[in-house]
Copies of this chain bind each other. A is one copy, B any other.
Amino acid sequence: MRVARARYKNWNRADLTYAELDEGTAVAGVFTQSACASSEVEMGREQVKSGSARALVVNAGNSNAFTGYRGREAVEQIMQQVAEHLGCDTSEVFVSSTGVIGVPLPKDKARDGVAAALSAEPCSWEDAASAISTTDTFAKGAHASAMIGGQRVELVGIIKGSGMIAPDMATMLGYIFTDAAVEPALLQQMLSTANRETFSCITVDGDTSTSDTVLAFATGKAGNAPLASFDDTGADAFAAALTDVCRQLAQLVVRDGEGASKFITIRVTGAASDESAHRVALSIANSPLVKTAIAGEDANWGRVVMAVGKAGEPADRDKLSIAFGGTWTARDGLPVEGYDEAPVAAHLKGAQIDIAVDLGIGEGRATVWTCDLTHGYISINADYRS
């Protein structure tokens, strides 16, 4: 990894990240479903189809979204510049951008930044995680390893994001690198599956970015027998490690949610289906009244009832049960008479909040992660200049 200062904003920090990847690196990706996706997302979606990658460039401070043909030209320039340097195909150079929407990425700054990065000294994962960040308050990375047929493989991931986070459909900017040898089609299947259980289960503010992207790169340098199907030896272990890294990264984004003071886990059980449970859980996680109640350390389960009721999913008021930190405050549609408020109050004063909701009508279950809604979110977003 290498970083440089393209000075996309008036700041004194690295804001362009470059990762060179070995020949033969497999790539997989998941992207935002936004109807207003950036050129980077549109092009990346096409590029992953070839399954092959040689480089990654990430611009921070300018998302280059909603910038029309001029935005696209800037991306093509970066791809060309790197492809010439490496002697590879432009389709093997992946570009992401994050930051303000609606300002075309300045081509001159991009050209100088890429040139500086190509000749820079290698840097640490943490430096790269910092260079891809915008409103993040800390650098976010995760690691896991797996054994594939006697060969140990490593996975490292970095991610950025703390606002405009509702990857109901895809994700924010995240990159996972592994030395395992994995065929692109299988890597894509594994990443899509991991995405559904991790990045798709977090929300900060219900707002979905135009630039959400997660890419996984597998260089194959570990020397394991290449994985081509879920039946191959070690495929399960690798998929579990990949999901583990994705879950760590996803939860780090929520922990750094704009203005967040508490990390909230919402478990929904007894739903008509897993999909229904997921939608009910997100309805609770995205409710400003639930999120402000948690910020106020108030066990206001009435607001949880409201959020279940508005989800548009099958539910029966008289079978609904709600618990905070393991203490049931409502059971089968009625407040629990004389429940012990002390452990609930103590739980709500903590930084890790657990809300459990049992719908009592089926076997569907889901878990999502979110944060509370505080004055900090308002301050960050009412003052942020476009």
**Size bracket of the A interface:** 35 or more
Contact B381 A374 (CB under 8 A): no
Say yes or no for A305: interface residue by CB 8 A criterion: yes
Contact B382 A292 (CB under 8 A): yes
Contact B305 A65 (CB under 8 A): yes
Which residues from B are CB-within-8-Å of A379? 375
Say yes or no for A298: interface residue by CB 8 A criterion: yes
What mask results when residues 294 to 329 of chain A are scored 1 for a CB within 8 Å of chain B, else 0?
Answer: 011011111101111111111111101000000000
Say yes or no for A288: interface residue by CB 8 A criterion: yes
Which residues from B are CB-within-8-Å of A320? 36, 66
Residue from A286, A293, A302, A313 whose CB has the most chain B CB atoms within 10 Å: A302
Copies in the complex: 2
What mask results when residues 145 to 170 of chain A are scored 1 for a CB within 8 Å of chain B, else 0?
Answer: 00000000000000000011010000
Contact A36 B383 (CB under 8 A): no
Q: Which of A23-66 contact B (CB under 8 A)?
A: 32-37, 63, 65-66
Contact B334 A207 (CB under 8 A): no
Residue from A65, A101, A206 whose CB has the most chain B CB atoms within 10 Å: A101
19 CB < 8 A contacts A-B: A33-B312, A35-B309, A35-B314, A36-B305, A36-B308, A36-B309, A37-B309, A37-B317, A65-B305, A68-B333, A102-B330, A207-B288, A207-B307, A288-B381, A292-B377, A292-B382, A295-B378, A299-B386, A300-B386
Residues of A within 8 A of B (CB): 32-37, 63, 65-68, 70, 100-103, 163-164, 166, 205-210, 286-289, 292-293, 295-296, 298-303, 305-318, 320, 330, 332-335, 373-375, 377-379, 381-386
